[in-house]
């Protein structure tokens, strides 16, 4: 089972679109996917039309056992196969678990509950737009961390802060965590400003850190989220463009995960 966190300090950069784009690519490939929505806004849960109402990711953080986790997972409307996509949905109470713990030692809860979960090939955690306790829970439970950003003035800075957080979690509670790379989303290659910001990101972090291909601005992603469908089932040229990109990213992420599994197995 591969666990991937999708994070960013900045809001609205495309974390949820990316997490669900990868989930949709895995669905079409026949994988069993669990999306964990750790964002109290609950965007991923509503796009997936989660039908679970009584249990959520907050239930699991309040009582972090494998049994509670299994009881809290719900089916979604993404049933187009050949794989499956389930969800551990968000709830407004999640915000209670994002509070700053001061100098108390951070003891990961989600990681504990996930340890004994079986039956999934891929777990994708959609993080809130902050580097608080919920994002730390996600990183502590993951093998791979993907940072999403946009070509903007604050994009490179936000990515840098997210990288610091990944390093901190690796050094303290999760030595198996790997930084998978930065996804540059909503790129308009014809815009001078966007080309400049892309170059800036490469200068700061190095070209190899950018997960390629970059993701262009495509209205199909907004159409997909409003209909609650995977981008892979939207019939438009824009949807086909990004579907191909998500496929390539899924390949890369699975390859990286296989590599880290080999390196960390006894």
Q: Kindly state the tokens that stand for 200.
A: 């800036």
Kindly give, in sequence order, each residue whose CB lies less than 8 Å from that of residue 266, ignoring residues fewer than 6 positions away: none
DSSP lists the bridge partners of residue 145 as 5, 179
Q: Which is nearer to ligand ATP, 6 or 73 (CB)?
A: 6
Q: Which is nearer to Mg ion, 46 or 157 (CB)?
A: 46
Site for Mg ion in 43-62 (CB under 5 A): 43
Give the nearest distance from C-beta 7 to Mg ion in angstroms.
10
Give the nearest distance from C-beta 21 to ligand ATP in angstroms.
9
Q: Which is nearer to Mg ion, 8 or 174 (CB)?
A: 8
Cα(26)–Cα(15) distance, integer angstroms: 17
Q: Which is nearer to ligand ATP, 7 or 33 (CB)?
A: 7
Q: Is 16 in the site for Mg ion (CB under 5 A)?
A: yes
Give the nearest distance from C-beta 238 to ligand ATP in angstroms.
8
168 binds, among ligand ATP, Mg ion, none (CB under 5 to 8 A by kind): none
Q: Is 5 in the site for Mg ion (CB under 5 A)?
A: no
| 218: Cα within 13 Å, side-chain hemisphere | 24
Binding residues for ligand ATP (CB under 6 A): 8, 11-17, 39, 41, 43, 129, 185-186, 215, 217-219, 221-222, 225
The residue with its CB nearest to Mg ion is 16
Asked if residues 117 and 68 have their Cβ atoms less than 8 Å apart, the reply is no
Give the nearest distance from C-beta 201 to ligand ATP in angstroms.
16
Give the nearest distance from C-beta 144 to ligand ATP in angstroms.
18
CB atoms within 10 A of CB 131: 20
The DSSP line for 36-101 is EE--TT-HHHHHTT----S--HHHHHHS--HHHHHHH-EE-S---SSSEEEEE---GGGGGGGS--
Binding residues (CB under 5 A) for Mg ion: these are 15-16, 43
């Amino acid at each position: 089972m591969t666990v991937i966190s999708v994070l960013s300090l900045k809001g609205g950069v495309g974390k949820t679109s990316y997490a669900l784009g990868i989930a949709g690519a895995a669905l079409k490939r026949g994988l069993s996917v669990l999306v964990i929505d750790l964002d109290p806004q609950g965007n991923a849960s509503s796009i997936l039309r989660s039908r679970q109402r009584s249990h959520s990711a907050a239930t699991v953080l309040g009582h972090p056992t494998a049994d509670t986790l299994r009881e809290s997972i719900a089916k979604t409307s993404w049933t187009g196969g050949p794989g499956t996509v389930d969800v551990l949905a968000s709830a407004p109470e999640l915000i209670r678990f994002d509070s700053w713990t001061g100098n108390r030692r951070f003891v990961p809860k989600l990681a504990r509950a996930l340890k004994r979960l079986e039956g999934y090939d891929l777990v994708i955690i959609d993080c809130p737009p902050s580097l608080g306790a919920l994002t730390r829970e996600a990183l502590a439970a993951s093998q791979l961390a993907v940072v999403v950003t946009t070509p903007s003035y604050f994009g490179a800075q936000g990515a840098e802060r997210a990288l610091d957080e990944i390093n901190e979690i690796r050094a303290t509670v999760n030595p198996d965590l790997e930084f998978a790379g930065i996804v540059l989303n909503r790129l308009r290659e014809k815009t001078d400003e966007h080309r400049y910001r892309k170059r800036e990101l490469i200068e700061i972090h190095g070209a190899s850190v950018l997960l390629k291909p970059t993701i262009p601005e495509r209205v199909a992603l907004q159409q997909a989220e409003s209909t609650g469908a995977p981008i892979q089932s939207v019939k438009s040229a824009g949807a086909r463009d990004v579907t191909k990109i998500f496929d390539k990213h899924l390949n890369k992420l699975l390859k990286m995960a296989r590599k880290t599994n080999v390196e960390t197995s006894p």
